[in-house]
Structure 1
Amino acid sequence: MRTIILLLLFTSVTTAFSQQLQAIHGSAYAGSMAPDYNPAGILNAPYKWDLTILGVQGKTMSNAFYIEPYSLLSAADSVYAVSKNGNFRRYAHTAATVNLMNFRYQINEVSAFSLGANIRSYNHVRSSPVNWHDSMLYVYEFAAQNQPTTSLYAATQSSGWLELKMGYARVLSQTYAGRWQGGVQLKFMRSLSGAHGRLSNINFEPRTSPNPFVPYDFALTAADARYGYSNNYDRTNNDQSAGTNIKQFLKGMSNSVGLDLGVEYIHYWESDALYLEKPPAPHDYNWKFSAALLDIGRNTYTYGKASAHASGAKDGTYASSLQNKFNDLENINQLSDTIKSIAARYDTLRGNFSINQPTRLLINFDKNLEKNFYVNAELQWSIRSIDNVGQLNTKELTTFAITPRWEKKELGVYLPVQYTLERSAWVGLALKAGPLLVGLHNLGWLLGKKSVPNGGGYVTLQIRPGNKKEKDAPCPDY
């Protein structure tokens, strides 16, 4: 049970806040957070350096349940998790990032570098269409409502890691009309938590129940289950202190290398191009276009001792008996023993498994509307599918976003509108005041009673040079 609890705890903690800082994508004031959308963006800030001391970002979505009655503006004595009834495909996705000491420094007129650390996590659960009602109390009722069951499946994957990153950006070419700049970010990653599972090829056939108190029953004649988790969960022990358990959990994990690549073109106003001896301030452009390939890499984990592949079903395995077999499980070993007792074949998984990072092509366009108003449009195309049976992949949760904003160096109002990978639209809001940026992905968390868990939020604390009125950082010469 400790293994299961630790796995759920890691997932819940890291998904309380999520990737991404959607509000400031394309902004000249993103500074050390610009690599969130393009590593070339660190050249755009109107100050010499900045430091994001801490940032937490989170995004969650699910159509399987909602929290009622709950919103951030009203408190209720009791809240409930309410499952959604019906016959439909179910899903739950979360993505999270904790930013630690992200630093950006402009070396000279044409180059800049960045340093920092992040803790990140992506988690996906999805199923085939399944008929479920909260009035179902027994497995045989579920089997009866989902005949034939051979098309049913459920799958999940979860990956969490620590990354230390170093970025560099440089002007590639420039004219009086604008400039091209490129950036690269190298990431040294350490795996923290990994898990995956898939249940498919389930077959329940109607049979007379051996239990005289069960009105009807089904025999389990086929099933295929593959599940695994990282072995650091096996190293924790109730007899050890919390500090020792943390050390045991973190040691011996795999290291890997990741990469982000990006280019950006900044187009100046025609009047600036014709009459200015130098390019305008970083925030005074006509439009910007950027493209980036983000999160190239994967994380590798060693299988925990209870990871397994089970297939088939032993004779005499009835839906009515499964209820008792899976009740009151206290640890992962008891789960394995239960599966062994009903599976025709059971093989322990050994060696390593890898989960790909959410590699994606991100296209971003930013237009200056003047008087501190801007609008940003963004498209994210994931390279891999999370439904690929032959690979374990993760995926970014936003596919398209449009963000109008009004911003200055110390103040900003942002209204991001996002379209998610599950074809839902969210309207968010973010506010910047001095070093603090706070935002919500979905205003339903404020205004609705059934919007949670669909949404999320972010907050960052970013400091910049001094309190004096600062001149703009030098811009590239022609």
Structure 2
Amino acid sequence: MCTIKAQAQFNLGGYSNSHYAGIHGVPMNPASAAGTHYKWDVNIGGIQGTIGNTYVSFPRKTIFHPPDSLEQLDRGKDYFLDSAANPLKKQYGWGSVDLMMPSVLYSIDELQSIAFTWRIRANGNAGGLTTDVTNFFAYSFPNPNLTNRRYDIENAQGGFNWWNEFGATYARVIRDDGIHRLKGGVTLKLLSGIAAGYAQVEDASFIMRSATDAQINSGTLKMGYSEGINNWEKPTLSNYSLFKNIGFGMDLGVIYEWREEVDGLTGYDNDQWNPEADDYKLRLGVSLLDLGGITYKKMPSNKDLALATESINPNEIKHRRGEGWQQYYRRISTYFTEIPSDDKFRMNTPASLNLMADYNIDGRFFVNFNGNLAMNAGRYDPSKTYRISQFQLTPRYDSRNIGGYVPISVNTKGQLDMGVGLRAGPLVIGSSTLLSNLFQKDKKRMDGFLALRVVPIRFGKSRLGCPATNF
């Protein structure tokens, strides 16, 4: 119940929306591939990982010196629970990993570009329990001090998805009159699912009369997981495979740029460098990301359950030490009534609406705003993962070979973070939570971004009058 930001897109605050992002800007808005500084850009490898929650916090010593197993964690010492939160506040946890494999962007000319991206992604969410119910399960369940009180679960769910993604992008400048430039782009994706699962409890109500006797008045459990999980192998990466559980996806994006004056320069310097990419004063972008999904076949043993029962020993539904979770579910299902369900489920990818505004102060210093809003986090479809919506403001410094970024973000759970990022030639590294975590005693979320690119470092001669070439 105490699951451990969901940022499924390959994204570092400020950097991914900049004119130097190249191939790394494509996952956030495919239109950014057109009119980039680079004639070509190759990603060798990159990874972003995020993890966060609203209920459990960890001190520094636990993060840097974790125990060998979760069972060895000591509450009040190795982790702390936010048990004093508003009893009706809902608690959530999330995590994601986005691995960008070798990928390439090529600018056909100053108007149009193509890109190929290969990503391996995993995303998970859990939550929806109110604080009082979360405390009920988290504090020495079954706790005899929490008897003879009614608890309700309106909707609580968890899900995860691990998939492979090949993306083909086309972007072009749709209009350019020197002052106004409009760009559009689309990424078509071939998805292949590796593993996925979900569980959802709806409209449940229960009372624990004693530590050995409880009554569940109502509720349903919907759950399913993909076939491959029953034959899970170790290490985890050995389960990775291509072209199984095929699905399709798409990203769409447009970018508008406003320039104060026409400088009359077009094309690439020395066939490698587009000096006009950052001549705009204001840049606005809108994109729809991760539209699509993957259909999985359920294991035959998966069952939806009606949870109502007059009497049940809470210890019987408690996870037992050494018990595998599949074994645990098979045992739990014998205590309740089976409900017919489909033999397949569709795991939607974490669709979102991305908004961006970028203001050019003097050609070196910029201020970027980015908002990412989840589109499929409603309660009626349990078989999905989704993003945690957030807003981010990033002042940044950008020159040809060096960039610095200080993202300041707030998510819809009311959590405020500050981080830092650095671009040094082909290397990009950063975290959107690093600075805030340095000053927080206990941590509820962390993330990191690391990528290595091949970009044209020697750009040829500068052109007089082009601001971008002076830095």
Q: TM-score range by the shorter chain?
A: 0.7 to 0.9
Aligned residue among 169, 175, 178 for 1:176: 178
| Aligned-partner SS, 2:26 | helix
Q: Does 1:293 align with 2:288?
A: yes
Instruction: Compute the TM-score of the two structures, normalised by the length of structure 1.
Output: 0.82
**1:424 maps onto 2:415 in alignment:** yes
- Structure 1 residue 235 and structure 2 residue 227: aligned? no
**Contact 2:23/2:105, CA 8 A, preserved across alignment:** yes
Q: Secondary structure at the match of 2:276?
A: coil
Deviation at 1:20, TM superposition (A): 2.2
Alpha-carbon distance change, 228 to 461 in structure 1, aligned in 2, over 3 angstroms = same
How many residue pairs are counted as aligned between the two chains? 442
* Whole-angstrom distance in 1 between the partners of 2:384 and 2:297: 17
Q: 1:292 to 1:222 in 2, by over 3 A?
A: closer
Query: Deviation string for 1:122-181 (max 9, x for gaps)?
Result: 211112313217983242537527x22234553112122110111111111111213212
Residue of 349, 364, 373 corresponding to 1:372: 364
CA contact (8 A) 2:113 2:170 kept: yes
Is contact 2:222–2:304 with CA below 8 Å preserved after alignment? yes
State how far apart, in whole Å, the 2-side matches of 1:142 and 1:167 are. 58
Cα contact 1:66–1:450 (8 A) shared by 2: yes
Residue 30 (structure 1) shift: 0.4
User: In the alignment, what sits opposite 2:130?
Assistant: 129
The reply to whether residue 144 of structure 1 matches residue 136 of structure 2 is no
What is the aligned partner in structure 1 of residue 34 from structure 2?
43
Equivalent residue for 1:6? none
Match of 1:440 in 2: 431
User: Percent identity at matched positions?
Assistant: 22
CA distance in 2 between counterparts of 1:338 and 1:466 reads 60
1:282 matched to 2:284? The reply is no
Deviation at 1:261, TM superposition (A): 1.1
Query: In the TM superposition, what are the counterparts of 1:6-17 in structure 2 within 5 Å?
Result: none
CA distance in 2, matches of 1:295, 1:159: 13
Counterpart in the other structure of 2:82: 84
Following superposition, the deviation at residue 182 of structure 1 comes to 1.1
In the superposition, the TM-score normalised over structure 2's length comes to 0.83
In structure 1, the gaps of 5 or more residues are 1-10
List aligned pairs for 1:64-79, cutoff 5 A. 64-70=55-61
- Stretches of structure 2 that go unaligned for 5 or more consecutive residues are 68-72, 268-274, 467-471
1:38-89 deviations in whole A, cap 9, x for unaligned? Answer: 11111232221111111111222211211113498x8799982323223342
Contact residue 10 and residue 28 of structure 2 kept, 8 A: no
Tell me the residue number matched to 1:101.
Answer: 102
Read off the aligned partner of 2:83 and give its amino acid letter: N
Secondary structure of 1:40's counterpart equals helix
1:19–1:95: 8 Å Cα contact kept in structure 2? Answer: no
In structure 2, the CA distance between the partners of 1:331 and 1:112, relative to structure 1 (3 Å rule), is same
Tell whether the 8 Å contact from 2:49 to 2:96 is kept in structure 1 after alignment: yes
**CA distance in structure 1 between the partners assigned to 2:28 and 2:298 by the alignment:** 33
User: Does structure 2 retain, via aligned residues, the 8 Å contact 1:17–1:56?
Assistant: no
Structure-1 separation of matches of 2:301 and 2:283 = 51
Shift of 1:391: 5.2
* CA displacement at 1:424 relative to structure 2: 1.6
**Which segment is superposed worse, 181-190 or 348-357?**
348-357
The Cα shift of 1:294 comes to: 1.3
Determine if contact 1:65/1:84 at 8 Å carries over to the other structure.
yes
> Alpha carbons of 1:102 and 1:342: their partners in 2 closer, same or farther (altered >3 Å)?
same
Structure 1 vs Structure 2 CA RMSD: 3.3
AA in 2 matched with 1:358: P
Equivalent residue in structure 2 for 1:359, among 341, 351, 356? 351
Q: CA deviation at 1:225?
A: 1.6
Report the AA paired with residue 180 of structure 1.
L
How much does 1:341 deviate?
3.2
Asked whether the 8 Å contact 1:105–1:114 carries over to 2, the reply is: yes
Aligned to 2:469: none
Aligned residues of 1:69 and 1:76 also touching (Cα < 8 A): no
